[in-house]
Amino acid sequence: MTYGAADLTDDGPGAKSTLASTVYHQLRDDLLGGALEAESKLRVEWVVSKYGAGASPVREALNRLASEGLLGRHDQRGFFIMPVSAAELEELTRTRCWLEERALRESIAHRTAEWEEQLVLALHRLGRASRLSRQSTSSLDPDWEKLHRIFHRVLISACRSHWLVGFCDQLSDHAYRYRQMANDSESVQRDDFAEHRLIAENALDGNADDAVQALITHYQLTAAMCMERFKQGGAPKLSVPGQRAHR
């Protein structure tokens, strides 16, 4: 892969069409989208029934999700969905800002014409998409979310470190869980596209300091909106049928 060129399909490296991979992606989408209640146990039997797969591929998918920190596991007690908390959000945001500052600075320092073209295109596509779902104004539109993910990945794709991009992707996944909480928050008003445009314009101009500051401000504002939901009593939860909360 050429540095400065991002994978705009957002499928990740080496995506496989195996049954275990299919279960992994379906369950992962439900976990990140908040469709399953935090701290609930995930019994293998229930996952087998819901996702229509055998016990072996289900266990493989569950182990993979546990390795990514989206599931927890106790010996002899199975898997459970990792909880969300204000403390974890604060740590997650701080760590994400640390890593993405380095990734963005490196990306700007080693930018290419191809990277610049991809960033302009990613911003343009993001600006034309509707952020909120037509079905529910309290949830993100899946198409917008994909374009949003692509924009942020393109932004750091010229940093010359697949390891760093991978770590940033993993933190982005965890941050997505929290962003679902802030969609209907009315306490903080923002112009989401203007924030992304400011980041991109500074990056394209080679102004690393201002680009980094715009990116950090962008993440901190999102975190503040999520924190507001914790103050209001936390995020709405959807129960896992037939499951009990892990104790």
Q: Tell me which of 61 and 188 has the higher pLDDT.
A: 61
Domains of the chain by residue range: 19-81, 86-231
What's residue 15's pLDDT? Answer: 38
Q: Tell me which of 189 and 199 has the higher pLDDT.
A: 199
Fold entry, domain 86-231: Four Helix Bundle (Hemerythrin (Met), subunit A) (1.20.120)
Residues 10-56 have pLDDT tens digits of 444 333 348 888 888 888 888 887 777 665 788 888 888 888 888 88
Amino acid at 32: L
CA pair distance 25, 109, nearest whole angstrom: 34
Two tokens, residue 218: 């962008």
CA pair distance 184, 132, nearest whole angstrom: 10
pLDDT band at 240 (very low <50, low <70, confident <90, very high): very low
Exposure class string for 36-55: b at 16+ Cβ within 10 A, else e: bbbbbbbbeebbbebbebee
CA pair distance 40, 34, nearest whole angstrom: 12
Its CATH architecture, for the domain 19-81, is Orthogonal Bundle (1.10)
